[in-house]
Structure 1
Amino acid sequence: MLYPRHIGRSTARALFIASALILAAGAVAGIARAQPAQTSASQAFASDRLSVEVIGVGPDVVLIPGFASSREVWRREATRLSATHRVHMVQLAGFAGEPWVHGDGPFVQPVIDALATYIQQAGLDRPAVIGHSMGGMSALMLAQQRPDLVGRVMSVDSLPFFSALFGPQVTVDTARPFAAQASAGMRAADDAGFRAAQTQGAVGLAIDPVTRAAMVEWSMASDRQALATAIGEIMLTDLRPGLPSMTTPVWAVYAADDNGGAPASMADGLWAREYAGLAGVTLIRVDDSRHFIMADQPQRFAEIVDRFLAE
């Protein structure tokens, strides 16, 4: 994981724990790569920004993975949900081996546009959208820009302004040097150094050792230019000004782990502060978990998802 060199160790550790947007996400290592046949909802959609795998039948749920992540991060939960829902598992271009053809062009807004196009072309009727990390930011952004297309949002361990992790005083302008340095670091790191950083960082992001190992492989399979562009944009995207006017129901699920992760008091304060502008937001803390809640606490996460979808 890459941070500006002058950030203190304690601050870097807090960043480490609270979000994985600068590290690859991953799924369970060794999972079979054979994919179920896709339904017509995804077969009619073509985009160089994302692809979608669809499984199950029932009310629609869209699952968006995080930074550098494979859709496989959702596999266990998607398979469970497919018994009662039609699940749309997104894969973003440039991440985890999905081709990237846009050079140093923009990343985030084209993804939001592609998600909106997919929902419309697939004929989805205001689906529930669940996003992890950067995927949670994307879900919020989509709901702010196209509230007519989104029924409800679950943001999983994701803040509306990533750079608020540097402190409550940080603004988009003051975050620019950090964002530039993070992007440059992504481009400049050689493969050995990059792998070493991801391996070290994974410990702070998941308790499950299998998931930690998978994070590294998805990171190494990602396009470095796509990673650099995405992280620079993520760190400068502040969705907080749009929170007061949102009408889409939002649940924000976040992790706490007093044994080497984010202490509950720190996590509670951070999420309450950053979502304060969103009236009616449902904040849910998951204890004994790090950033990858769906891997560290799958049963608890499944219970929360079921409650979210039932409302």
Structure 2
Amino acid sequence: MLLKTMRLLTVILAFLAPGLAHAAQPTRFTVEVRGKGPDVILIPGLASSRAVWEPTAKALEGRYRLHIVQVNGFAGSPAGANAQGPIVDGMVEELAAYVADNKLDRPAVIGHSMGGFTGLALARRHPESLGRLMVVDAFPFFSILIQAKDAAAAEPVAARTRANFATLSDEDLLKVQTRTMKTLVKNEQGQKDAVAWSMASDRQVVGQVTYEVMTSDLRGELAAITTPVTVLYAKDASMGFVGAIIGGVYKDNYAALKGVKVIEIDNSLHFIMLDQPEAFLGEVETFLK
């Protein structure tokens, strides 16, 4: 009788195991794991490849175990579940599940742009999932950049932006992205890479994520975040008047977040890790200590 029971359990587990393994796999992103040591999750920004973290990863992988995220639909990766939204909320939930399923002990999270916004949402909704957060050049409400007072005011512009990704010809989109990346990356190779990543991205996914980030406002939730947060922001002479006030804008927008560290990286545009890799790595090293 005991032998029959054990055989029955073996059969049941054989059927269950594949389902359990599948359930643990993220559907909105993939993860490349490198190195050994304390866990660090790296999340790229909108339409970016995980390769944006490569210089940082090479410097850290000898001392840290890196979990380098690639958002599905960005930089040539298949859209997968991201063919349907809401994408950012889904990513937040799957990141929390990834941390739990892999038994990561309150990892550090570093996110650039949209990735930083995602990290903020993770810290708000699942504070048990991370030990500290670095936000790289991202606001808790992105649409302050278009002077929207709230998410409702930003919605019409966000909707038009999403539609533009679907309707522009490849030629016109290339022109737009080439022009845009010159305002976001100073590094010449970085500009080329960022354009290539964006052109290889799934337009529906990029448009939807853009819409979601533009119409999401975490400013009212910052006071509830207990995770230690460091914010890096870019400043450059080419920004003109904006560069003169950008530090104050960042400090004002993060003022409700208790204990936040807001740090300027000079002579850099939005892709700080590409424009000022040494300065960026220095801040990362300090953050991880």
Query: Scaled by the length of structure 2, what TM-score is found?
Result: 0.89
Separation of aligned partners in 1, 2:121 and 2:156: 23
Q: Is the 8 A contact 1:62 1:87 kept in 2?
A: yes
Structure 2 unaligned regions, length at least 5:
1-20
Cα distance in 2 between the residues matched to 1:237 and 1:272: 19
Structure with the bigger percentage of helix: 2
Q: Which residue of 185, 192, 199 corresponds with 1:213?
A: 192
Q: Which residue of 2 aligns with 1:30?
A: none
AA at the equivalent of 2:137: D
After superposition, the Cα gap between the structure-2 partners of 1:130 and 1:60, relative to the gap in structure 1 and judged at 3 Å, is same
Residue 117 (structure 2) pairs with residue 134 (structure 1):
no
Are 1:251 and 2:230 an aligned pair? Answer: yes
The separation in 1 between residues aligned to 2:223 and 2:104, in whole angstroms, is 26
The correspondence for 1:110, drawn from 90, 96, 112, is: 90
User: In structure 2, how many angstroms separate the alpha carbons of the residues matched to 1:149 and 1:87?
Assistant: 15
Q: Which runs of 4+ in 1 moved over 6 A?
A: none
Instruction: State how many pairs are aligned.
Output: 268
Name 1:146's counterpart in structure 2: 126
In 2, the alpha carbon distance for the partners of 1:238 and 1:44 equals: 30
Distance 1:143 1:186 in 2: 30
Partner-residue secondary structure (3-state), 2:223: coil
From 166, 172, 175, the equivalent of 2:151 is 172
8 Å CA contact 1:204–1:261 kept in 2: the answer is no
AA in 2 matched with 1:87: L
Give 1:239 deviation, angstroms.
0.8
Partners of 1:262 and 1:290 within 8 A in 2: no
2:130 partner amino acid:
V
Measure the CA separation in 2 of the matches of 1:97 and 1:262: 36
The one-letter code sitting in structure 2 at the alignment partner of 1:129 is V
Give, in whole Å, the separation in 2 of the partners of 1:199 and 1:130: 26
**Which structure exhibits the higher relative contact order, with contacts defined as CA atoms closer than 8 Å and separated by 6 or more residues?**
1
Per the alignment, do residues 260 and 275 of structure 1 end up closer, same or farther by CA in structure 2, a change over 3 Å counting?
closer
Q: Deviations over 1:163-195 (max 9, x none)?
A: 01122x611111111111111111111111001
The answer (yes or no) to whether the contact 1:164–1:170 under 8 Å persists in 2 is: yes
What amino acid maps onto 1:242 in structure 2?
A: E
Which of 230, 234, 252 matches 1:273? 252
1:183 matched to which residue of 2? 162
Question: Alpha-carbon deviation of 1:259?
Answer: 3.0
CA contact (8 A) 1:255 1:286 kept: yes
Distance 1:295 1:227 in 2: 21
Equivalent residue, structure 2, for 1:230: 209
Distance 1:295 1:43, change over 3 A: farther
Give matches, 1:190-209, under 5 Å: 190-209=169-188
Q: Which has the larger radius of gyration?
A: 2
Q: Where does the alignment leave 5 or more consecutive residues of structure 1 unmatched?
A: 1-41
Give the letter aligned to residue 204 of structure 1. Answer: T
Matched residue, 1:159: 139
Q: Percent identity?
A: 43
Match of 1:92 among 65, 71, 74: 71
| Displacement after TM superposition at 1:48 (Å) | 2.1
Distance (whole Å) between structure 1 residues aligned to residue 137 and residue 22 of structure 2: 31
How far apart, in 2, do the equivalents of 1:59 and 1:262 lie? 41
1:152 and 1:43, CA in 2 relative to 1: closer, same or farther beyond 3 A?
farther
2:8 aligns with none
Instruction: Report the equivalent of 1:122.
Output: 102
Structure 1 residues 260, 271: CA separation in 2 closer, same or farther (over 3 Å shift)? Answer: closer
What is the SS of the residue equivalent to 1:243? helix
